[in-house]
């Protein structure tokens, strides 16, 4: 019974207390500040009580932070801000989109759309611009590019329209004859790959000689079997200019630009000796005076040892084959038949016969009789006597 009494007493005291007046809310709506009475802690209900209605894209802010309009406020005498949504047109290279947003700036509007902005993206007006109704935003998103240059790969982002503009933005100038793939004027490649080719061209001067011709002439001022340059030959000269192209250090082309003859060749005149000079020498104990000495290959023959089946006892001059007669090539025989010679190890002889089938002009055949035949097969010096 006592318990029921105290419950009734508490209820009576409570009923006699004054009721809590409605809460006061301050609302910033554009440039207007309004004072609202609020019996509910929920922003949407507060606004509805004061006949202020929200659109789907409108936002309520508390102390500069967006709050849920359907969630209770944890404050008294709060200052709320109502941000009305505006219509914005977003224009990209691919499409044109209209949307509503209560974002305060262009950058915030992009964030609401879930678009990540990069420093290389092109946004006009800038991201810090206040979002206003009917604002048109031009947006060109940047692309990832891989630039191969100087044996390395540089990764950048660019929203440029052409390869050349992207390279300028990246601080990679094309110097001189440098080129790029794709070319500077082409749009950015779909695969994002740009290759810079460093080009150097060099000019190489080359001198090329033109060989001179050689002419031989008889000279009675030059000893026989000797030669002497009477008039030195002069080589001609051609000068050419060649342009060499290097791409990334590798030669790719070589083109002759100019070529001209700056000097004609001059014929060299060589005199071969026709002058007979008598000389002396002692060979095998014999004092010889001779006008010519030649190194020749000597063989020997006799009437029945001449390399054929038949015996030939006589020579071309009519003399019999014997020691002291030798055979030579036909031209020597025609010019020097009867010429006295001396062959070391053989002795004195005269040219009286023509050798048959000599493989070389410097070949002699030494005569013997069949009885005293001696084989010869070696080199020897023949002296043509005075």
In CATH, which of 1.20.80.10, 2.20.230.10, 1.10.10.1100, 2.60.420.10 is domain 203-272? Answer: 2.20.230.10
- Confidence (pLDDT) at 307: 79
Burial of 129: CB neighbours in 10 Å, binned 0-12, 13-18, 19+: middle
What values do phi and psi take at 163, rounded to 5? -60, -40
Domain boundaries in the chain? 23-83, 86-140, 143-197, 203-272, 278-385
CATH number of the structural domain 143-197: 3.10.20
Beta-carbon contacts of residue 207 (< 8 Å; ≥ 6 apart):
237, 238, 239
Contact 296, 379 (CB under 8 A): yes
**CATH class in words for 23-83:** alpha beta
Whether the pTM exceeds 0.85: the reply is no
What values do phi and psi take at 166, rounded to 5? -65, -40
Tokens for 85, please give them. 């949504």
- Confidence (pLDDT) at 17: 39
CA atoms within 13 A on the CB side of 270: 11
Tokens for 381, please give them. 């010096």
DSSP 94-107: S-EEEEEE--SBHH
- Confidence (pLDDT) at 22: 61
pLDDT (tens place) for every residue of the chain, 386 residues total: 333 333 333 333 333 334 444 688 888 887 888 888 888 888 888 888 888 888 888 888 888 788 888 888 888 778 888 888 899 999 998 899 999 998 889 999 999 889 899 999 999 999 999 999 999 999 999 999 999 998 899 999 999 999 999 999 889 888 899 999 999 999 999 999 999 999 999 999 999 999 999 999 999 988 888 899 999 999 999 999 999 999 999 999 999 999 999 999 999 999 998 888 899 999 999 999 999 999 999 999 999 988 788 898 999 999 999 999 999 999 999 999 999 999 999 999 999 999 877 777 789 999 999 999 999 999 999 999 99
Domain pair 86-140 / 203-272, same fold: no
Between CA 214 and CA 265 the distance in angstroms is 11
Over the range 355-364, which residues count as b (16 or more CB within 10 Å of their CB) and which as e? beebeeeebb
The fold for domain 86-140 equals: Ubiquitin-like (UB roll) (3.10.20)
The fold for domain 278-385 equals: Barwin-like endoglucanases (2.40.40)
Alpha carbon distances (Å) from 242 to 177, 227, 238, 263: 17, 41, 13, 19
Residue 327's closest CA among 337, 224, 280, 174?
337
DSSP state of 331: H
Q: Residues 289, 292, 293, 297: what is their CA dihedral angle, to the nearest 10 degrees?
A: -130
Kindly state the helix (H) or strand (E) to which residue 208 belongs, with its residue range. Answer: strand 199-210
């Amino acid at each position: 019974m006592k318990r029921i009494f105290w419950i009734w007493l508490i209820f009576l005291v409570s009923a006699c207390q004054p009721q809590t007046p409605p809460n006061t809310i301050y609302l910033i709506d554009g440039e207007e500040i309004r004072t609202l009475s609020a019996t509910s802690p929920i922003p949407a209900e507060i606004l509805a009580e004061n006949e202020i209605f929200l659109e789907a894209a409108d936002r309520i802010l508390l102390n500069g932070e967006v709050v849920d309009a359907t969630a209770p406020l944890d404050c008294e005498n709060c200052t709320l801000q109502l941000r009305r949504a505006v219509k914005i047109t977003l224009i990209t290279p691919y499409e044109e989109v209209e949307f509503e947003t209560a974002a305060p700036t262009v950058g915030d509007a992009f964030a609401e759309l879930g678009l990540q902005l990069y420093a290389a993206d092109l946004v006009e007006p800038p991201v810090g611009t206040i979002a206003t109704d009917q604002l048109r935003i031009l947006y060109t998103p940047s692309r990832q590019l891989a630039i191969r240059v100087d044996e390395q790969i540089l990764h950048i982002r660019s929203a440029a329209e052409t390869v050349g503009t992207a390279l300028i933005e990246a601080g990679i100038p094309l110097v001189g004859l440098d080129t790029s793939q794709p070319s500077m004027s082409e749009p950015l490649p779909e695969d994002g790959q740009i290759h810079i080719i460093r080009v150097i061209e060099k000019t190489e001067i080359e001198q090329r000689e033109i060989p001179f011709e050689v002419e031989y002439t008889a000279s009675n001022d030059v000893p026989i079997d000797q030669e002497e340059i009477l008039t030195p030959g002069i080589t001609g000269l051609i000068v050419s200019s060649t342009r060499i192209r290097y791409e990334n250090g590798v030669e790719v082309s070589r083109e002759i630009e100019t070529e001209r003859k700056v000097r004609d060749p001059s014929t060299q005149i060589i005199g071969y000796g026709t002058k007979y000079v008598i000389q002396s020498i002692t060979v095998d104990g014999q004092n010889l005076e001779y006008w010519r000495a030649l190194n020749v290959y000597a063989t020997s023959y006799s009437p029945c040892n001449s390399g054929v089946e038949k015996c030939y006892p006589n020579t071309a001059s009519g003399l019999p084959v014997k020691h002291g007669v030798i055979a030579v090539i036909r031209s020597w025989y025609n010019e020097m038949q009867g010429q006295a010679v001396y062959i070391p190890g053989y002795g004195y002889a005269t040219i009286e016969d023509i050798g048959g089938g000599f493989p070389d002009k410097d070949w002699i055949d030494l005569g013997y009789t069949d009885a005293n035949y001696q084989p010869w097969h070696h080199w020897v010096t023949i002296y043509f006597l005075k």
